[in-house]
Amino acid sequence: MTHNVLVVDDEPKLCDLLASALSQNGITVFTAGNGLHALKVLECEDIDLVISDWRMPGMDGPQLLAEIKSRFPQLPVIVMTAYSTVKNAVQSMRNGAFDYIAKPFDIDELDITVSKALQFRDILKDNQRMRAELDEHQQIDSLVGDSPSFRRVLQAIDSVRESNATILLTGESGTGKEMVARAIHKHGNRADKPFVAVNCAAIPEGLLESEMFGHRKGAFTGAVADRVGRFQQADKGTLFLDEIGEMPLALQAKILRALQERVIEPVGDPRERKVDVRVIAATNKNLLDAVAKKEFREDLYYRLNVFPIPLPALRERVEDIAPLARHFANTLGAAAGKRFSGFSAEALQAMANYSWPGNIRELQNCVERATIVASGSVIEEDDLPAYLFASRPADGGVLIENNGVPADLEAALAEVEKAYILAALQQSNGVQAAAAQLIGISERSFWYRLKKLGIHVDKIVR
């Protein structure tokens, strides 16, 4: 990697000496005779490191260091001084210098110090690149959100995207498992290879083996030609196995072998085919429960669960509802030739109060409907679908039909939920963390329910 270094010194001969020494290591050297000139160079050139004298006329080294730290906070600075007192060195380090060297300096010592500073600069640049790629994920792949639970998902994606490890995505229906799988593939080391998605629940059991591994002509009734299966279609790329928990037990053993041995056998063909596939599986089931019930192979579960990424439900990341809604409104509005400036406060509050059992998919459908009916540039509460608003009678009770069935299931469930939460708060003397533990949910989820149900802890009778 080519680096640009700026040498700042009022002695032209020293600048030339440093330029000659550093250029032998493939470094491009810029020089400046004073601090003001150095700042002009920094404005025009992409500099990776500044080496500055301590004492210079006009703007001296400490003043230049202060300006660099203010304008270019991640740019490392090495201070040179002929007055190599401990006081000067310590002061420069306290003010943000990466290191210092004393005049006259040893060339080997200079090379080591410069090398360390440039390595530090490269690390900072890599971190900036990674953060930019995460931002790109959010924009390109609709991975929008900044809640703590979703940031953990983004961090997990960034950790695993360049590897070939098998990934298991878990979470409720609609939490964006395929979207995350596509993001991992798109920003990983197989991005230029195929991404093949299979919904294991949507294919009839009798055809699933052929769909996965392919078949030879005449292997069974209806096999009128050779067929390449999904594993071979995804060769060198990524195979996304959605709803893996619905896969029949008989086929699970063959999937396990394909993952372990990297070979498959098409139906009706005993010859093995080698495949190089990165597998990402997803499920909304608790696979450990399925293992306990003998509905899912334990060995396959552990083979899939190499790198698990749990996706939070939307109700567990309430902070992300507003940015997600705005993202969908912008995207869907643009497709329909409409432009929206945002949502009213009432509309955002209504969406925050809803439990979103269908998660992000349901939110997207909700916003799509709102963009169709909205007449202005701001989406109002009345533009949202009616099911977001639970109907309750004036006294706060639940409407019951004559046959004992609730007229409003959401309202009935909310009343039951409220009763449990109030009981837990009474038992914990109003301590929310303890109350959350009593009913087996996280503190964040407990706080969300307090807000949704309108429970004020300071009014709880202890």
443 vs 197, more confident: 197
CA distance readout (Å), 236 to 97, 110, 131: 47, 46, 27
The pLDDT of residue 227 is 83
Higher-confidence position of 221 and 75? 75
Of 418 and 240, the structure prediction assigns the larger pLDDT to 240
Residue 411's pLDDT is: 67
* Listed range (36-45, 248-257, 443-452) with the worst mean pLDDT: 443-452
Retrieve residue 404's tokens.
């004992």
pLDDT in tens, 249-296: 989 999 999 999 999 988 888 888 899 999 999 999 999 999 999 999
d(CA 289, CA 283): 13
Q: Is the pTM value of this prediction over 0.75? A: no
Long-range contacts of 59-64 (CB under 8 A, 24+ apart): 59/34, 59/35, 60/35, 61/8, 61/35, 61/92, 62/91, 62/92, 62/95, 63/35, 64/8, 64/35, 64/38, 64/39
pLDDT-derived band at 461 (thresholds 50, 70, 90) equals very low
- Residue 212: count other Cβ atoms within 10 Å of its Cβ: 24
CA neighbor of 114 nearest in space, from 216, 19, 236, 244: 19
| Least reliable range by pLDDT among 115-119, 201-205, 442-446 | 442-446
Residue recorded with tokens 């990524």: 238
| Structural contact between residues 217 and 224, judged by C-beta atoms closer than 8 angstroms | yes
Burial class from Cβ neighbours inside 10 Å (0-12, 13-18, 19+) for residue 449 reads buried
3-class SS string, 315-384: HHCHHHHHHHHHHHHHHHHHHCCCCCCEECHHHHHHHHHCCCCCHHHHHHHHHHHHHHHCCCCEECHHHC
For position 139, what pLDDT does the model report? Answer: 41
- 191 is written with which tokens? 């991005």
Domains in the chain, start-ordered, CATH in brackets? 4-126 (3.40.50.2300), 141-312 (3.40.50.300), 316-388 (1.10.8.60), 390-462 (1.10.10.60)
Q: Is the pLDDT of residue 339 over 70?
A: yes
Please give the share of the chain, as a percent, with pLDDT higher than 70.
Answer: 88
* pLDDT tens per residue across span 6-38: 999 988 988 988 998 898 888 999 999 888 999
What's the rounded Cα separation, in Å, for the pair 195 and 343? 35
